[in-house]
RNA sequence: GCCUCCGUAGCUCAGUGGAUAGAGCACCGGACUUCUAAUCCGAUGGUCGCAGGUUCGAAUCCUGCCGGGGGCGCCA
């Protein structure tokens, strides 16, 4: 099924070719959603742009085009309005047909593109540290993008690029051993605390610093005892991360883990190959790649530090190795990195060097999904009053607590386990939606009160709209499969909203901007609520009743699948 | 200093070179013997940071300025 825009564009294109010649039909005809309801469903300003080239008035051109426009099966006679706009209003029977097609299709008519293997890098917490609010965006955005890309037919490979390697582990392991721990006797919160105290000790105690550095050498050299402790740290961390993922509804498990340590053995090869390619320069003892177009603060060339002066490797080298693995071993056609916007320059450099080295062929696309920082109410990066990071679980606890209060406040009849389960889904859904609804790139303020609110563009609002539609359909008892009548404006508005779903999902797959899907689902939910007010369903006369039920079912399906793509549970009762 | 992102309603934010710039919240006025009112209907609210430029047409593209965030060699 083509998008309606595509359909109208094709028809318009033949009219342009007939009336003005094929030369003019080649341009982008710009059929867009109407900016105002009185302009119908779609509009184009093409005649305004053709006025110059054709040497005629926009309105004349519009009238000539409309004369030859064959769209009878799709919309009412197109109107020439304003300075030379052509407005399209879809026919109710066409809208009904579209809704029915969506209703019949398991994938809701979301088009499947040319299948690609897409590697999505997201979440990437650090071993021995609790996941905190800073991991929320990468985890949730990445999860949604992976879901959406898979839904449109791509072969998605999730990669959790765990921070599981580096000098800090020497410090932590040395501290643990000196304090009599074996690495398995502490949970993640305990490890997190130990990490902080080890850090303090490292800075205050010169003797410890020396032993910590020696421990790094042991770890990197593969010392058995040291490695054993390290493995326990990783295992403990993964178990805790998994709990958070399950609770958040994130589709990410241990099979998706490919941490920094995995690329450890590849790092010398990365250096060798870059050296052989003549891409590295020695500078102050380090091996650097100086790429054209990158400069530092004083205007000198900005290096990518592939090997540090002490012989160690930084994350530049690790990211290069990971990129190479993803292209060569995972056979990626597209690499998506869901990582903080502050790493933009880093990724530009890594991609540029990989292209120069021939590790990133032209056919492989790269996307850095760069998102902004989560801020506290004070407008500064979200921290506790004492300046510590906020564990993700405590946020989810708070959200769930508020969701429970919300259910009680709204007189929910749910009790016991069902009540708790629902509160959990509402709380998590609120946090996820509150994150996803924001545009990428910019910072946003984490305001739990707004996220868990019943009003407005929130997760609970969408879940409620869904639950309500399920409830109505259940009462109706299964009748109503086909939309046949769309007489009321509220019915048409809802039908039109439903038909926008395939385009909204496709837009997210293309632009990697989940907030577009949020906006669309919110539109469907509000149209559904208005429809309830204006159009009685169960008490309506037989044919109207059946048609309205089908429309309702279509909206319910869109909300259910849409929420699923956002990783939010489409509840049946609230 | 250079690079980059941002500045849109009181607040939080959408916005693809097109018509009178949109949502949500808040505020104000209505609608509950319900299909779950967690809702709906309506009203108020704007020099799109400022100034130029390109264009038939600019929140959108270009330049400059003002204000803010972020980044800019051995942390990741």
Out of A217, A244, A271, pick the residue that ends a domain: A244
Q: Are A323 and A350 in contact (CB under 8 A)?
A: yes
Instruction: Enumerate residues 6+ apart whose C-beta is below 8 A from A233.
Output: A127, A128, A169, A172, A173, A183, A191
N-to-C CA span, chain A: 35
Out of A244, A267, A301, pick the residue that ends a domain: A244
Task: Supply the pLDDT for residue A147.
Answer: 98
Query: Do A81 and A171 sit in the same domain of this protein?
Result: no
CA A337 to C1' B17 (Å) is 31
Task: Supply the pLDDT for residue A537.
Answer: 96
Among A308, A269, A315, A304, which Cα is nearest to A286's? A308
Token pair for residue A134? 């800073």
Decide: helix, strand or coil at residue A345. Answer: helix
Task: Supply the pLDDT for residue A387.
Answer: 81
Q: What is the dihedral of CA A436, A441, A443, A444, to 10 degrees?
A: -20
Strands A374-375 and A444-445: parallel
Query: Do A83 and A184 sit in the same domain of this protein?
Result: no
Closest nucleotide relative to residue A126's CA, C1' based? B76
DSSP state of A410: T
**Residue A410: HSE in the Cβ half-sphere, 13 Å Cα cutoff:** 19
CA A530 to C1' B57 (Å) is 36
Q: What average pLDDT does this structure show over A210-237?
A: 93
Q: Is residue A114 part of a domain?
A: no
Instruction: Enumerate residues 6+ apart whose C-beta is below 8 A from A264.
Output: A165, A220
Burial A469-505 (b: 16+ CB within 10 A, else e): bbebbeebeeebebbbbbeeebbbbbbbbbbbbbbbb
Query: Do A555 and A410 sit in the same domain of this protein?
Result: yes
Does residue A168 approach strand B to less than 7 Å at its CB? Answer: yes
Query: Do A425 and A546 sit in the same domain of this protein?
Result: yes
Closest nucleotide relative to residue A441's CA, C1' based? B5
ipTM of the modeled complex: 0.95
Among A306, A304, A280, which Cα is nearest to A293's? A304
Q: What is the CATH number of the domain that holds A65?
A: 3.30.1360.70
Query: Do A86 and A183 sit in the same domain of this protein?
Result: no
Which bases on strand B have an atom closer than 7 Å to a protein beta carbon? Answer: 1-2, 4-6, 12-16, 18-20, 22-26, 35-41, 56-57, 69-76
Query: Do A39 and A173 sit in the same domain of this protein?
Result: no
Task: Supply the pLDDT for residue A376.
Answer: 87
C-alpha to C-alpha distance for A429 and A407, rounded to whole angstroms: 14
Query: Do A80 and A174 sit in the same domain of this protein?
Result: no
Q: What average pLDDT does this structure show over A251-279?
A: 96
DSSP string, A49-82: HHHHHHTS-HHHHHHHHHHH---TTTBSPPEEET
* pLDDT mean across residues, chain A: 94
Does residue A315 approach strand B to less than 7 Å at its CB? Answer: yes
Per cent of chain A over pLDDT 90 is 83
Closest nucleotide relative to residue A51's CA, C1' based? B56
Decide: helix, strand or coil at residue A121. Answer: strand
C-alpha to C-alpha distance for A237 and A164, rounded to whole angstroms: 10
Number of domains observed in the structure of chain A: 3
Task: Supply the pLDDT for residue A104.
Answer: 95
Q: Is residue A361 part of a domain?
A: no
Strands A334-340 and A365-371: parallel
Closest nucleotide relative to residue A410's CA, C1' based? B38
Q: Is residue A554 part of a domain?
A: yes
Q: What average pLDDT does this structure show over A247-272?
A: 96
DSSP string, A424-479: HHHHHHHHHHHHHTS-SSS-EE--HHHHT-SSSSSHHHHHHHHHHHHHHHHHHTS-
Q: Is residue A39 part of a domain?
A: yes
Query: Do A405 and A536 sit in the same domain of this protein?
Result: yes
Query: Do A79 and A216 sit in the same domain of this protein?
Result: no
Q: pLDDT of A526-574, one tens digit each?
A: 999 999 999 999 999 999 999 999 999 999 999 999 999 999 999 999 9
Does residue A265 approach strand B to less than 7 Å at its CB? Answer: no
Query: Do A179 and A84 sit in the same domain of this protein?
Result: no
Query: Do A171 and A85 sit in the same domain of this protein?
Result: no
- Domain range for A224 is 167-244
Query: Do A78 and A182 sit in the same domain of this protein?
Result: no
What pTM does this model have? 0.96
**Which residues are bridge partners to A33 per DSSP?**
A42
C-alpha to C-alpha distance for A463 and A427, rounded to whole angstroms: 11
C-alpha to C-alpha distance for A161 and A12, rounded to whole angstroms: 48
Indicate whether A86 pLDDT > 90: yes
A40-44, A120-124, A199-203, A497-501: range with lowest mean pLDDT: A199-203
**Longest CA–CA separation in chain A, Å:** 88
C-alpha to C-alpha distance for A190 and A320, rounded to whole angstroms: 33
Does residue A288 approach strand B to less than 7 Å at its CB? Answer: yes
Q: Is residue A336 part of a domain?
A: no
CA A328 to C1' B4 (Å) is 31
Q: Are A334 and A117 in contact (CB under 8 A)?
A: yes
Strand order across the beta sheet in which A155-159 lies: A155-159, A117-121, A334-340, A365-371
Q: Tell whether the torsion through CA atoms of A66, A72, A77 and A78 is positive or negative.
A: negative
Indicate whether A517 pLDDT > 90: yes
CA A183 to C1' B45 (Å) is 60
Indicate whether A299 pLDDT > 90: no
Per cent of chain A over pLDDT 70 is 100
Q: pLDDT of A357-414, one tens digit each?
A: 999 999 999 999 999 999 988 888 898 878 888 999 999 999 999 999 999 888 888 9
Task: Supply the pLDDT for residue A1.
Answer: 66
Q: What is the CATH number of the domain that holds A489?
A: 1.10.730.10
Closest nucleotide relative to residue A533's CA, C1' based? B40
Out of A90, A124, A151, pick the residue that ends a domain: A90
Does residue A513 approach strand B to less than 7 Å at its CB? Answer: yes
Q: Is residue A201 part of a domain?
A: yes
Indicate whether A220 pLDDT > 90: no
Q: pLDDT of A1-47, one tens digit each?
A: 679 999 999 999 999 999 998 888 888 898 999 988 889 999 999 99
Left, alpha or beta for A390 (phi > 0: left; psi -120 to 50: alpha)? Answer: beta
Q: Is residue A176 part of a domain?
A: yes
Instruction: Enumerate residues 6+ apart whose C-beta is below 8 A from A443.
Output: A372, A373, A374, A375
Indicate whether A281 pLDDT > 70: yes
CA A224 to C1' B53 (Å) is 69
Q: Is residue A482 part of a domain?
A: yes
C-alpha to C-alpha distance for A226 and A170, rounded to whole angstroms: 9
Token pair for residue A495? 């039908």
């Amino acid at each position: 099924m083509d998008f309606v825009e595509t359909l109208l564009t094709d028809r318009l294109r033949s009219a342009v070719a007939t009336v003005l010649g094929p030369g003019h039909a080649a341009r982008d005809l710009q059929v867009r959603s109407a900016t105002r309801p009185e302009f119908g469903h779609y509009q184009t300003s093409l005649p305004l742009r053709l006025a110059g080239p054709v040497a005629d008035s926009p309105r004349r051109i519009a009238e000539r085009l409309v004369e030859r426009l064959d769209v009878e099966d799709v919309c009412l006679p197109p109107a020439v309005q304003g300075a030379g706009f052509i407005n399209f209003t879809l026919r109710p029977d066409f809208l009904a047909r579209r809704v029915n097609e969506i209703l019949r299709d398991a994938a809701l008519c979301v088009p499947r593109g040319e299948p690609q293997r897409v590697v999505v890098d997201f979440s990437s917490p650090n071993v021995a540290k609790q996941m905190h609010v800073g991991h929320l965006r990468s985890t949730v955005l990445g999860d949604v993008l992976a879901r959406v890309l898979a839904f449109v037919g791509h072969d998605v490979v999730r990669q959790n690029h765990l921070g599981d390697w580096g000098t800090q582990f020497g410090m932590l392991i040395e501290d643990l051993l000196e304090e009599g721990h074996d690495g398995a006797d502490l949970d993640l919160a305990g490890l997190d605390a130990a990490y902080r105290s080890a850090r303090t000790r490292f800075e205050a105690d010169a003797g410890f610093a020396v032993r910590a550095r020696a421990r790094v050498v042991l770890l990197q050299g593969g010392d058995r005892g040291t490695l054993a402790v390290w493995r326990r740290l990783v295992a403990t961390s993964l178990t805790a991360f998994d709990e958070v993922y399950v609770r958040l509804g994130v589709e990410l498990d241990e099979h998706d883990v490919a941490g920094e340590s995995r690329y450890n053995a590849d790092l010398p090869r990365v250096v060798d190959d870059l050296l052989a390619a003549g891409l590295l320069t020695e500078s102050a003892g380090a091996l650097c790649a100086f790429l054209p177009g990158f400069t530092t603060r004083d205007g000198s060339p900005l290096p990518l530090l592939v090997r540090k002066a002490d012989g160690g490797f930084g994350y530049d080298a690790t990211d290069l190795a990971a990129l190479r693995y993803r292209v060569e071993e995972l056979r990626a056609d597209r690499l998506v990195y869901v990582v903080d916007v502050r790493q933009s320059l880093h990724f530009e450099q890594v991609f540029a060097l990989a292209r120069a080295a021939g590790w990133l062929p032209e056919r492989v696309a790269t996307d850095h999904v760069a998102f902004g920082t989560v801020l506290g109410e004070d407008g500064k990066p979200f921290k506790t009053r004492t300046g510590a990071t906020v564990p993700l679980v405590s946020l989810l606890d708070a959200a769930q607590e508020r969701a429970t209060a919300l259910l009680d406040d709204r007189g929910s009849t749910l009790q016991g386990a069902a009540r708790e389960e629902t509160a959990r889904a509402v709380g998590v859904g609120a946090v996820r939606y509150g994150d996803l609804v924001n545009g990428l790139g910019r910072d946003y303020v984490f305001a739990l009160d707004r996220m868990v609110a019943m009003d407005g563009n929130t997760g609970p609002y969408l879940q409620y709209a869904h639950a309500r539609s399920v409830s109505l359909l259940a009462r109706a008892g299964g009748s109503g499969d086909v939309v046949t009548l769309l007489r009321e404006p509220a019915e048409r508005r809802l039908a039109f909203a439903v038909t926008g779903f395939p385009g909204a999902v496709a837009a997210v797959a293309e632009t990697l901007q989940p907030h577009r899907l949020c906006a669309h689902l919110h539109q469907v939910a509000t149209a559904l609520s208005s429809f309830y007010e204006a159009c009685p369903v169960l008490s309506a006369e037989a044919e109207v009743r059946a048609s309205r039920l089908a429309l309702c079912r279509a909206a319910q399906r869109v909300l259910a699948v849409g929420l699923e793509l956002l990783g939010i549970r489409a509840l049946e009762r609230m």
